[in-house]
């Protein structure tokens, strides 16, 4: 063993670790002298041949599984079972946890972070198998803070060099909508509010796809969009009975948390549907508003591909046309609308009111909160002279210093005597 | 015949000037074997040169009447280096061989295009490249089999950005400096009006000045961090002002080791971006988690810059030590973003 040990007999350094009837021995390969024998008993001279190694520098630390790592691995398995994941996921998640634990930054992290790491490993496993699991769910299960979770998640993805695919929207819709308690009759659920699961799922999926194509999903948390889409789908399946129900009540009935952005997503989705309705001739005459458009959602969804394609194509044409004179085409537009038949595919070309709003994400449609003026071109060189007066404006005069100290002392005296005599 | 010789001299002089600038002129001949089909036509050299010179004068003014049909389709997507290389290569062989009448606009194009080489047309260089970009529809008349590997690379003139006239604005500069003396933070906080010091919260004095509008963290070891400036020079001036304030408070402060640690810039490409698509194609560089942050985090390798790309088209660039890194990073990302302009 090349460890600096010397044979006491011949002085050679060629010591070999050998086993004699399963008892390990250190033997000199030159003269055959047994330098040390076994691990349990050593004489003083034997110890002189060995070098003391601190535990942290020995390999024992890497080979053994520490107690906190064992606890972490147990937590990973428990979390997989709670989420009812397939057994293969468990093994992958455990492997990720072990790989992460090899990094010193993780090994020395606080317990809180190690707990969150459990969730991160499970999340990465689910994402790679396209299992729709949101970070919110994991944070709720682990009682963890989303900030802590996000920091650890980004760190571990970078550390392990992983390619984590995005959340699969279609699967998330199916899982999330299946969790709504609207598909079975119950005492708390009025009869007219009960809905068929398949119909609602398919319509919600179509609405979510529509939202995705019209820039309502990019950059936003997916769950509120799905909630809003599910609500609209549910309403449109029986509008006469359900138009009076609000989004909050719907979520309470379905036994689902109402995410805060869901109401603004709902408004955006309704605005998109209204714009699509304006492009269908038989809906233009009805002059729909936010409530009445719900009744026609099935029509709009049926023709959504054509309408969106036309909207995107026409949007660019309109943007170019706006730069030219449009006044002359104004009177021509009204006639064009009346000529259109009932077929959705025969939408008149270029004779529709401009709808460029359909093409842009909502953040681009809102007016800017404050106009940022371009900074004036500065001619600073960095080496200018600094005048004394400019610096002195930042310094206190001696009188001001005295006043300040007096005020500070008075303030401290006041706080140290909270109860006035 | 005399006139012919004079025109020939003029033309060849221009070609030799270009020859001097291009390192190996000779290897260019062998790869351009396909172009040897253009045989020297001695009967019309005069006419050729006349129209050639006229073309040059004409194209210096504008490009509307010029025939860009020779430019291949792929020219717009190719590297700007290759654009210049290819034009350089074709120009070389134009000098060596005579091109037929129909190809003359080509040679004048190329002469005009290489503004660095030909003195007469330096002002028209800027016109050529938008012309390149616009000619996508034109089919190549010449076979574009020019192997570029054998042509020595030439440094392109100015960084041409394929039409992006957007320049990122610097928003914040973080710099550090060493005052090289131990400081009494309590005394600084007492005697300076613009300082705040809360030792329980943070172990440094936070000082602010109005011009340039910046904030500094001054530590008891004498080290200082200056943030908030909008340019490198302003950051240096501000750091010097802080050092002067500390000096006036009675400490033997000096101004050493000024270094810019980080620069942040931002700009707007003015069209919405499909972040989901971008993360699919550039997965090894991008990180897009809509559940955590609405923007896409793009870690560019060369230069080492982190970009935050948002759906509205706004881009934030950070992590630069030098202004040129920000500009270079934006020029690299702009064509990628243009690819995701529409669904």
**Structural domains of chain A ordered from first start:** 15-59 (no CATH), 67-160 (1.10.472.10), 169-309 (1.10.472.10)
Largest alpha-carbon pair distance within chain A?
114
Lowest mean pLDDT among A2-6, B237-241, B270-274: A2-6
Return the ∠ at Cα B39 (arms to B75 and B112), rounded to 5°.
Answer: 40
**Mean pLDDT of the region B262-270:** 94
Phi, psi of A325 (to 5 degrees): -80, 130
Instruction: Examine the fold and report which residue of B225, B260, B295 is the final residue of a domain before the chain moves on.
Output: B260
pLDDT value for A5: 72
Of A136, A380, A396, the CB nearest to B191: A396
| Confidence at A224, pLDDT banded by 50, 70, 90 | very high
Q: Which residue would you say has higher pLDDT here, A50 or B32?
A: A50
Question: First and final CA of chain A: distance in angstroms?
Answer: 80
pLDDT at A354 over 60: no
| Confidence at B227, pLDDT banded by 50, 70, 90 | very high
pLDDT value for A1: 46
| Confidence at A312, pLDDT banded by 50, 70, 90 | low
- Whether residues B290 and A213 touch (CB distance < 8 A) is answered with no
pLDDT value for A321: 61
**Mean pLDDT of the region B91-97:** 47
**Mean pLDDT of the region A26-37:** 81
pLDDT value for B69: 59
**Mean pLDDT of the region A118-141:** 94
Using a 10 angstrom Cβ sphere, with 0-12 exposed, 13-18 middle and 19 or more buried, the burial of residue A51 is: exposed
Of B209, B280, B342, the CB nearest to A312: B342
Tens-place pLDDT, residues B101-156: 444 444 444 443 343 344 444 444 444 444 444 444 444 444 444 454 455 555 54
Q: Which residue of A has its CA nearest to B212?
A: A380
- Whether residues A401 and B311 touch (CB distance < 8 A) is answered with no
Average pLDDT along chain A? 82
pLDDT at B244 over 90: yes
Return the ∠ at Cα A255 (arms to A250 and A257), rounded to 5°.
Answer: 80
Return the ∠ at Cα A113 (arms to A108 and A118), rounded to 5°.
Answer: 110
Q: Are B265 and B320 spatial neighbours (Cβ–Cβ below 8 Å)?
A: yes
pLDDT at B37 over 80: no
Which positions ≥6 away from A92 have C-beta within 8 Å?
Answer: A125, A128
- Whether residues A375 and B236 touch (CB distance < 8 A) is answered with no
Tens-place pLDDT, residues A71-129: 999 999 999 999 999 999 999 999 999 999 999 899 889 999 999 999 999 999 999 99
- Whether residues A219 and B295 touch (CB distance < 8 A) is answered with yes
User: In percent, how much of chain A has pLDDT > 90?
Assistant: 44
Interface test with B, best of A154, A394, A395, A404 (most B CBs within 10 A): A394
**Do B196 and B250 fall into the same domain?**
yes
**Do B256 and B191 fall into the same domain?**
yes
**Do B179 and B207 fall into the same domain?**
yes
Closest CA to B157 of B61, B81, B62: B81
**Do B275 and B337 fall into the same domain?**
yes
| Confidence at A40, pLDDT banded by 50, 70, 90 | low
B230 close contact with A: CB closer than 8 A = yes
Out of A297-306, B15-24, B78-87, give the one with best mean pLDDT.
Answer: A297-306
State whether the Cα torsion A6-A12-A17-A18 is positive or negative: negative
- Whether residues B234 and A220 touch (CB distance < 8 A) is answered with no
DSSP letter for A28, please. E
Kindly state the tokens that stand for A36: 């040390």
pLDDT at A142 over 70: yes
b/e code A328-348 from CB counts within 10 Å (16+ = b)? eeeeeeeeeeeebeeebeebb
Neighbour tally for A360: CB within 10 Å: 18
**Mean pLDDT of the region A397-413:** 91
Phi, psi of A311 (to 5 degrees): -65, -45
| Confidence at A143, pLDDT banded by 50, 70, 90 | very high
**Do B273 and B309 fall into the same domain?**
yes
- Whether residues A135 and B233 touch (CB distance < 8 A) is answered with no
B188 close contact with A: CB closer than 8 A = no
Q: How many CA atoms lie within 13 A of A342 on its CB side?
A: 1
**Do B282 and B228 fall into the same domain?**
no
Q: Which residue would you say has higher pLDDT here, A366 or A254?
A: A254
B291 close contact with A: CB closer than 8 A = yes
In a domain, B143, yes or no: no
DSSP letter for B295, please. S
Of A213, A375, A395, the CB nearest to B248: A395
* Cis-peptide, bond into residue A78, ω within 30° of zero: no
Using a 10 angstrom Cβ sphere, with 0-12 exposed, 13-18 middle and 19 or more buried, the burial of residue A269 is: buried
Using a 10 angstrom Cβ sphere, with 0-12 exposed, 13-18 middle and 19 or more buried, the burial of residue A70 is: exposed
Q: Are B185 and B220 spatial neighbours (Cβ–Cβ below 8 Å)?
A: yes
b/e code B46-83 from CB counts within 10 Å (16+ = b)? eebbebbeebbebbbeebeebbbbbbbeebbeeebebb
Using a 10 angstrom Cβ sphere, with 0-12 exposed, 13-18 middle and 19 or more buried, the burial of residue A64 is: exposed
Using a 10 angstrom Cβ sphere, with 0-12 exposed, 13-18 middle and 19 or more buried, the burial of residue B28 is: buried
Tens-place pLDDT, residues B157-179: 545 455 678 999 999 999 999 99
pLDDT at A134 over 90: yes
b/e code A369-407 from CB counts within 10 Å (16+ = b)? eeeeeeeeeeebebeeeeeeeebeebbbeeeeeeeeeee
Q: Are A220 and A207 spatial neighbours (Cβ–Cβ below 8 Å)?
A: no
pLDDT value for B24: 47
| Confidence at A368, pLDDT banded by 50, 70, 90 | confident
Using a 10 angstrom Cβ sphere, with 0-12 exposed, 13-18 middle and 19 or more buried, the burial of residue B36 is: exposed
Instruction: Examine the fold and report which residue of B231, B260, B289 is the final residue of a domain before the chain moves on.
Output: B260
A23 pairs with which residues across the strands? A20
pLDDT value for B325: 95
pLDDT value for B262: 97
Between A and B, how many CB-CB pairs are < 8 A?
A: 113
To the nearest whole angstrom, how far is the Cα of A168 from the nearest Cα of chain B? 11
Domain at B231, CATH number: 3.30.310.10
Q: Which residue of B has its CA nearest to A309?
A: B343
On chain B, the residues whose CB falls within 8 A of the CB of A305 are none
**Do B194 and B247 fall into the same domain?**
yes
B261 close contact with A: CB closer than 8 A = no
CA B263 from chain centre, in angstroms, equals 17
In a domain, B217, yes or no: yes
Find the domain containing B275 and state its range. 269-342
- Whether residues A394 and B194 touch (CB distance < 8 A) is answered with yes
**Do B208 and B253 fall into the same domain?**
yes
- Whether residues B292 and A150 touch (CB distance < 8 A) is answered with yes
This prediction's pTM: 0.66
**Do B284 and B301 fall into the same domain?**
yes
Question: First and final CA of chain B: distance in angstroms?
Answer: 63
Kindly state the tokens that stand for A241: 């009975």
pLDDT at A2 over 60: no
In a domain, B46, yes or no: no
Average pLDDT along chain B? 72
On chain B, the residues whose CB falls within 8 A of the CB of A213 are 343
Largest alpha-carbon pair distance within chain B?
94
pLDDT at A279 over 50: yes
On chain A, the residues whose CB falls within 8 A of the CB of B236 are 382-383
**Length of chain B in terms of residues written:** 343
pLDDT value for A335: 41
In a domain, B274, yes or no: yes
**Mean pLDDT of the region A16-35:** 80
What is the count of structural domains for chain B?
2
**Mean pLDDT of the region B82-88:** 46
Q: What is the ipTM of this complex?
A: 0.74
Tens-place pLDDT, residues A176-192: 999 999 888 888 888 88
Instruction: Examine the fold and report which residue of B215, B239, B260 is the final residue of a domain before the chain moves on.
Output: B260
**Mean pLDDT of the region B271-283:** 92
Neighbour tally for A101: CB within 10 Å: 20
Kindly state the tokens that stand for B140: 């190549």
Q: Are B190 and B249 spatial neighbours (Cβ–Cβ below 8 Å)?
A: no
pLDDT at A220 over 90: yes
Question: For helices A262-278 and A304-323, what crossing angle results, to 10°?
Answer: 80
**Do B281 and B302 fall into the same domain?**
yes
**Residue A31 to residue A20: CA distance in whole angstroms:** 17
B237 close contact with A: CB closer than 8 A = yes
Q: Are B329 and B320 spatial neighbours (Cβ–Cβ below 8 Å)?
A: yes
On chain B, the residues whose CB falls within 8 A of the CB of A375 are 169, 230
**Residue B146 to residue B33: CA distance in whole angstroms:** 9
Q: Which residue of A has its CA nearest to B271?
A: A360
pLDDT at B86 over 60: no
**Residue A86 to residue A80: CA distance in whole angstroms:** 8
In angstroms, what CA-CA distances link A224 with A32, A211, A259, A260, A267?
A: 77, 12, 6, 8, 12
pLDDT at B96 over 80: no
């Amino acid at each position: 063993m090349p460890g600096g040990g010397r044979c006491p007999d011949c002085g050679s350094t060629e010591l070999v670790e050998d086993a004699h009837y399963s008892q390990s021995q250190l033997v000199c390969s030159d003269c055959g002298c047994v330098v040390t024998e076994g691990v349990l008993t050593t004489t003083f001279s034997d110890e002189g041949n060995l070098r003391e190694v601190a535990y942290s520098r020995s390999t024992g630390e890497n080979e053994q599984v520490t107690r906190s790592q064992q606890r972490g691995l147990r937590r990973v398995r428990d979390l997989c079972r709670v989420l009812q994941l397939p057994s293969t996921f468990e093994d992958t998640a455990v492997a990720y946890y072990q790989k992460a634990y090899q990094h010193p930054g993780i090994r020395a992290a606080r317990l809180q972070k190690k707990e969150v790491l459990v969730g991160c490993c499970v999340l990465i496993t689910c994402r790679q198998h396209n299992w729709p699991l949101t970070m919110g769910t994991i944070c709720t299960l682990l009682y963890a803070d989303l900030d802590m979770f996000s920091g650890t998640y980004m760190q571990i993805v970078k550390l392990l060099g992983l390619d984590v695919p995005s959340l699969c929207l279609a699967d998330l819709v199916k899982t999330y909508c299946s969790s709504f308690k609207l598909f079975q009759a119950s005492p708390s659920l009025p009869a007219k509010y009960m809905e068929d699961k398949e119909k609602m799922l398919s319509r919600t999926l179509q609405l979510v796809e529509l939202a995705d194509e019209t820039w309502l999903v990019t950059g936003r948390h997916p769950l509120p969009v799905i909630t809003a889409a599910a609500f609209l789908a549910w309403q449109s399946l029986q509008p006469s009975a359900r138009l009076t129900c609000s989004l909050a009540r719907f979520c309470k009935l379905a036994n689902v948390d109402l995410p805060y952005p869901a109401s603004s997503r709902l408004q955006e989705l309704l605005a998109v549907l209204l714009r699509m309705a304006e492009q269908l001739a038989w809906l233009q005459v009805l002059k729909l508003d936010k409530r009445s458009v719900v009744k026609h959602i099935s029509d709009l969804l049926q023709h959504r591909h054509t309408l969106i394609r036309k909207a995107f194509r026409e949007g660019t044409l309109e943007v170019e046309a706006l730069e030219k004179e449009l006044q002359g085409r104004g009177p021509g537009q009204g006639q064009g609308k009346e000529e259109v038949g009932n077929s959705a595919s025969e939408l008149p070309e270029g004779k529709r009111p401009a709808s460029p709003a359909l093409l842009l994400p909502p953040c681009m449609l809102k007016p800017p909160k404050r106009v940022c003026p371009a900074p004036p071109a500065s001619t600073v060189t960095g080496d200018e002279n600094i005048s004394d007066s400019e610096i002195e404006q930042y310094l206190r005069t001696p009188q001001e210093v005295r006043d300040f100290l007096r005020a500070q002392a008075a303030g401290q005296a006041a706080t140290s005597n909270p109860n006035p005599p | 015949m005399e006139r012919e010789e004079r025109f020939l001299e003029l033309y060849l002089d221009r070609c030799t000037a270009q020859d001097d600038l291009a390192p190996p002129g000779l290897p260019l001949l062998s790869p351009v074997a396909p172009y040897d089909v253009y045989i020297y036509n001695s009967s019309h050299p005069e006419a050729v040169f006349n129209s050639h010179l006229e073309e040059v004068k004409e194209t210096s003014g504008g490009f509307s009447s010029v025939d860009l049909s020779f430019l291949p389709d792929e020219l717009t997507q190719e590297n700007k280096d290759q654009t210049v290389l290819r034009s350089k290569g074709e120009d070389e062989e134009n000098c060596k061989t005579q091109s037929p009448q129909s190809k003359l606009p080509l040679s004048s194009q190329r002469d005009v295009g290489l503004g660095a080489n030909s003195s007469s047309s330096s002002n028209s260089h800027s016109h050529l490249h938008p012309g390149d970009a616009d000619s996508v529809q034109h089919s190549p008349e010449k076979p574009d089999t020019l192997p570029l590997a054998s042509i020595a690379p030439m440094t392109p003139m100015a960084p041409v950005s394929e039409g992006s006239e957007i320049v990122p604005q610097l928003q914040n500069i973080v710099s550090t400096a060493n005052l090289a003396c131990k400081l009494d933070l309590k005394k600084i906080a007492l005697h300076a009006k613009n300082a705040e010091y809360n030792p329980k919260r943070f172990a440094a004095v936070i000082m602010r000045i109005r011009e340039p509008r910046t904030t500094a963290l001054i530590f008891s070891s004498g080290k200082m961090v200056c943030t908030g400036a909008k340019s490198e020079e302003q950051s240096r001036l501000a750091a010097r002002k802080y050092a002067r304030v500390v000096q006036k408070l009675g400490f033997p402060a000096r101004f050493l080791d000024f270094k810019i640690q980080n620069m942040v810039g931002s700009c707007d490409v003015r069209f919405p971006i499909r972040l989901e698509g971008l993360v699919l194609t550039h997965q090894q560089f991008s990180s897009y988690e809509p559940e955590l942050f609405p923007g896409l985090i793009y870690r560019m390798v060369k230069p080492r810059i982190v970009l935050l790309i948002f759906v509205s088209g706004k881009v934030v660039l950070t992590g630069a030590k030098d202004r040129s890194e920000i500009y270079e990073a934006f020029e690299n990302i702009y064509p990628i973003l243009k690819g995701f302009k529409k669904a």
